[in-house]
Amino acid sequence: MEHVEYRPPMENDSNAATAEELEQWNVDVYVERALHGPVFRMAYEHTHTYCEIFYLRSGTCTYTVNKGQWHLEAGDIFIVAPGDPHSTRYEGKTSCERIIVFCMPDVLAALLPDAADEVRSTLLRSGKVILNSDSRRSVDAMINNMLLENDLPQRFSEDILKLESLHLVMLLLRSGIFGYETMSEKEGYSADIERALKYIALNYQQSLTLEEVAGHCNLSSTYFSRKFKLITGRTFKEHLNYIRLRQAKQMLCTTDNTVTKIAMLCGFGSSNYFKDVFKADVGISPREYRKNYRPAHSPAPADRLTGVSCMIILTARKARIYQKCG
């Protein structure tokens, strides 16, 4: 496989090959970066055999997949399943930088046998992924490492790219909110509710209220509450607690923080309220959960691992740990 010389992306230009060329080369993972000027459109709808993990680093764009449209902003990720027709329109007054990780689902799934089905199914279903601020920073750093391995290949670069790609998928599984999990297929996509979901993901640590989030979406509290339940299948409070509890479970498994500190960091306000909500949802107390699911030598959180560290944790035993803590 040939690699182009490393250089910053130029406007309306890519520093990598097309998906069609990748299919001819028969590579497993490739990272493509490009900078597009305002109002630039990939004019044709296209498909390929690779899964596409699309990361918008700066700017805004409209992503069309299977005739449905999604608005993406800086920090957003969209997964396009192999074979799904898609196109992109870049918008706004400034240039947009985007990075695409092309990967083969079966290749990544084979690297983690105990979680192979989950990895594969994640990459075989198109959808937008919402991340919190910490996870966005981790993704950005991870993407930078992958670009260096891709553009300036050294010994083991191809293997490291596979592992880093799997690491990226693991991070999305652990920290991402997938649009198809939070929005009813029957009711369809709602830009207002997606805006609310993103606001909650970025601010769940704060003392959020329904009125605040409704105001962020320019909706009345009553209308927002009704529409949120219709689209997501959860009330605002149920969804907020779902996001906070998921983060709390990860912290119980991967940090030494006290239960009280975790409650505060996850936005619960008081440890007693956190314990009540946790037990009602999980069936056991936070302390019991930590005792049952935390490994004897807890690994560093997956979103803080380097590519080399990723090689260490990619074992069947660790896969089971992350599945329990997710």
CB 285 within 8 A of CB 271: no
Of 326 and 48, more confident: 48
Which residues, 6+ apart, have CB-to-CB distance to 53 below 8 Å?
77, 78, 79, 80, 100, 101, 103, 165, 168, 169
Distance CA 243, CA 245 (A): 6
The per-residue pLDDT for 77 is 92
Nearest to 183 by CA among 242, 237, 227: 227
Distance CA 33, CA 4 (A): 12
Can you read off the two tokens belonging to residue 239?
A: 């969804």
The per-residue pLDDT for 319 is 42
Mean pLDDT of 16-44: 69
Can you read off the two tokens belonging to residue 184?
A: 């009813």
Q: What is the pLDDT of residues 139-160, one digit of tens each?
A: 999 999 999 888 888 888 889 9
The per-residue pLDDT for 191 is 78
SS (H, E, C) 244-292: HHHHHHHHHHHCCCCHHHHHHHCCCCCHHHHHHHHHHHHCCCHHHHHHH
The per-residue pLDDT for 105 is 92
Mean pLDDT of 184-202: 74
Structural domains of the chain in order of their starting residue, each with its CATH number: 13-181 (2.60.120.280), 190-293 (1.10.10.60)
Q: Side chain identity at 74, as an amino acid letter?
A: A
Q: What is the pLDDT of residues 70-114, one digit of tens each?
A: 888 888 899 999 999 998 888 767 778 899 999 999 999 999 998
pTM, entire model: 0.66
Distance CA 202, CA 200 (A): 5
Q: Side chain identity at 128, as an amino acid letter?
A: K
Which residues, 6+ apart, have CB-to-CB distance to 211 below 8 Å?
221
Q: How large is the C-alpha radius of gyration of the chain?
A: 20
Distance CA 7, CA 18 (A): 17
Average pLDDT, whole number, for the chain?
80
Q: What is the pLDDT of residues 252-299, one digit of tens each?
A: 988 899 999 999 999 998 999 999 999 999 999 999 999 988 876 544
